[in-house]
Amino acid sequence: MRFYRNIGEAHSPVYELQLPKVNYDPVDFDGIGTLYFGEFDGRCGIDMICAGENRGILLWGSRGITPTISFPAPDDSFEDCDSSRVRMSAHPPGGTWGGSAEPDGTFLPSDFLPGAYEMIYTFEDPDGCYTRNDTLLVRIVQCTSSASKDQGRVKQARISPNPADGSFSLGLQLARPGNVKISIVSLLGERFDLYSGFENRSDCFFTFARPKRLAPGFCFILIEVEGEWAAEKMIFR
């Protein structure tokens, strides 16, 4: 998974976010992008890279284990600070991700739903060598589970758009009956709920009209069945 941003090209709206080359006095990680993340084995694994000139920050975690954190020294003097660490939290409230070289935090995917979040990076050094706070505003638009695709409730999802009237059809194959929720999330963080109900069939078929307030462009169809998430990409013209 990576940070992505919309750089304004009409037919290719999502790109990997490559931060500009910077010197580290100070570092500016501010920007707007889209955060893709998914689950591994029922827990969340997240991989974020903010790359400067031959430097970067890599955070990742899975199965509830403390994220592994690695970042190069901003300058020669910082290399002497062995106790440096990085922390990250998300606002508005809904979950936090904290970690250092020692196990002291976990990250649970259920804490985050699609929407706008501010990720706050805190670089700390108890010895006083270096301290910095930077922020990056991101939008979480996708929460998928690799485990659910293989053995969970959502076995398959297919979308068939109808360009003539802007509607689309969604076919679901469920492993077993359950409560189904279907919604659309745009890259602007707008969410439109389309359906909520109990389905006792293994093969379900839905047809939805395009929400009137949904702007043209790239979006996700989010499917939730008994707490398990799946997502499909779609473009409205």
Q: What is the CATH number of the domain that holds 185?
A: 2.60.40.1930
Residue recorded with tokens 């990680």: 29
> CB-based burial of residue 130 (10 Å sphere; 0-12 exposed, 13-18 middle, 19+ buried)?
middle
Based on the fold, state whether residues 18 and 133 are members of the same structural domain.
yes
Beta strand pairing call for 85-91 and 96-97: antiparallel
Distance of alpha carbon 130 from alpha carbon 120, whole angstroms: 17
- Tell me the whole-structure pTM to 2 decimals: 0.42
**190 contact partners, CB below 8 Å, separation of at least 6:** 213, 214
More confident residue, 164 or 148: 164
Range of the domain at 202: 152-236
My answer on whether 94 and 169 are in the same domain is no
Residues 25 and 111 in one domain: yes
Residue 40 makes CB contacts below 8 A (sequence gap 6+) with 62, 63, 146, 147
Instruction: Please identify, among 111, 144, 177, the residue that sits at the C-terminal boundary of a domain.
Output: 144
Measured distance CA(229)–CA(237) in Å, rounded = 26
Last residue of a domain, one of 144, 172, 189: 144
What mean pLDDT comes out for the span 29-50? Answer: 30
Kindly state whether residues 38 and 16 are assigned to the same domain: yes
Considering the domain architecture, whether residues 57 and 136 belong to the same structural domain is answered as yes
Q: In the prediction, which pLDDT does 196 show?
A: 93
Q: How many domains does the structure of the chain reveal?
A: 2
- The reply to whether 77 and 162 lie within a common domain is no
- CA-closest candidate to residue 204, choices 169, 236, 160, 237: 169
Are 126 and 156 part of one and the same domain?
A: no
Question: Last residue of some domain: 144, 171, 198?
Answer: 144
Q: Which of 39, 48, 47 is nearest to 108 (CA)?
A: 39
pLDDT tens for 18-35 read 222 222 222 233 222 223
pLDDT in tens, 54-87: 222 223 222 222 232 333 333 333 333 333 333 3
Could you check whether the bond before residue 26 is cis, i.e. omega within 30 degrees of 0? yes
